[in-house]
Amino acid sequence: MDIRSVGIVGAGQMGNGIAHVFALAGYDVLLNDISREGLDKAVALIDRNLERQVARGKVSAEDKAAAMARIRTTMTLADLGPLDLIIEAATEREPVKQKIFDDLLPHLAPHTILTSNTSSISITRLASRTDRPEKFMGFHFMNPVPVMQLVELIRGIATDAPTYDTLLAVVGKLGKTAASAEDFPAFIVNRILMPMINEAVYTLYEGVGSVKSIDESLKLGANHPMGPLELADFIGLDTCLAIMNVLHEGLADTKYRPCPLLTKYVEAGWLGRKTQRGFYDYRGDVPVPTR
């Protein structure tokens, strides 16, 4: 199937990045959100990020203008129904995602492919609630989407070969690399990454090291570009906790038990960069460890 039009549900951190790369690759993009302010902010951010790419010589001014012209916005979910491909990029909560797909179903064209940008939730389970489980896949982009090269493609138990082949071709057109993952909790990247972050939080919780010493140890001792606690703040501590809960519940193994300190930070509303406080306090000129 030739994908030409793409609908994206959710204009947040992931949604606006996905819209950015699809528009730049020549797709017509319709971006949906429940907030007009959220949509306006997303379009402004895409414009700034494209302008940054122009300044660095990675994108021409003409290509930027063409990409921006391909992006439309709507607060009406039903408007996405006739499009070729829909990517759900809402918050990492299964009931929210299920309601989006439930609301979309009456408006979908017969050929429309449904996907979720979920980082951990069962694709098979999400697909089973729709009328087209064979045309449903996990389409997991990494953050920040315009920069990161990997896209995880996750087939549910019912996903057919033409759907997989279509999305594999889309990833190639975006200039990214696909990694095929089986539909098990957290797939590949987060199955490995989140337990590492969780263990870093346990290391802090048990007093083995401070925020600064843990992050410096992994940056300088393992050559990681960001320390695990800094990375957790970047991802969002609520997202990290949600994925650890999916791993813990889905695999029934105590090694995936979320650290109580991670839970405590989320309960406090200290979710990382997006709330200005997490393992670091971002309210000043320089991030300061909070422990």
Annotated catalytic residue, options 16, 49, 122, 190: 190
Annotated catalytic residue, options 117, 140, 198, 230: 140
Structure tokens at 234: 């970047």
Backbone angles phi, psi at 212, to 5 degrees: -65, -45
Q: Find the mean pLDDT for residues 19-37.
A: 97
Contacts by 277-284, CB closer than 8 A, 24 or more apart: 278/232, 278/233, 278/237, 279/204, 279/211, 279/229, 279/230, 279/232, 279/233, 279/237, 280/211, 280/229, 280/230, 280/233, 282/233
Annotated catalytic residue, options 16, 32, 117, 119: 119
pLDDT category of residue 189 using cuts at 50, 70 and 90 = very high
Q: What is the DSSP letter of 284?
A: S
Q: Find the mean pLDDT for residues 101-118.
A: 97
Residue 169, burial from CB neighbour count under 10 angstroms (0-12, 13-18, 19+): middle
Query: Containing H/E element for 254?
Result: none
pLDDT reported for residue 109: 97
Has 224 been annotated as catalytic?
no
Annotated catalytic residue, options 88, 152, 198, 230: 152
Has 94 been annotated as catalytic?
no
Q: Find the mean pLDDT for residues 1-8.
A: 95
Backbone angles phi, psi at 25, to 5 degrees: -85, 0
> Over 90: is that where the pLDDT of 262 sits?
yes
Is-contact 144 113, C-beta < 8 A?
no
Domain ranges in the chain with CATH number 1.10.1040.10: 189-289
Domain ranges in the chain with CATH number 3.40.50.720: 5-181
- Give 232-243 pLDDT, tens digit per residue: 999 999 999 999
pLDDT reported for residue 12: 92
- Give 197-208 pLDDT, tens digit per residue: 999 999 999 999
Q: Find the mean pLDDT for residues 153-165.
A: 97
Has 119 been annotated as catalytic?
yes
Is-contact 231 238, C-beta < 8 A?
no
Q: Specify the pairing of strand 150-155 against strand 136-141.
A: antiparallel
pTM assigned to the model: 0.90
pLDDT reported for residue 200: 98
Q: Find the mean pLDDT for residues 179-189.
A: 95
5-181 has CATH 3.40.50.720 classification = yes
Domain at 189-289, CATH homologous superfamily: N-(1-d-carboxylethyl)-l-norvaline Dehydrogenase; domain 2 (1.10.1040.10)
pLDDT category of residue 1 using cuts at 50, 70 and 90 = confident
- Give 135-149 pLDDT, tens digit per residue: 999 999 999 999 999
**Percent of the chain whose predicted confidence (pLDDT) is above 90:** 97
Has 140 been annotated as catalytic?
yes
- Give 52-102 pLDDT, tens digit per residue: 999 999 999 999 999 999 999 999 999 999 999 999 999 888 999 999 999
If you average pLDDT over every residue of the chain, what do you get?
A: 97
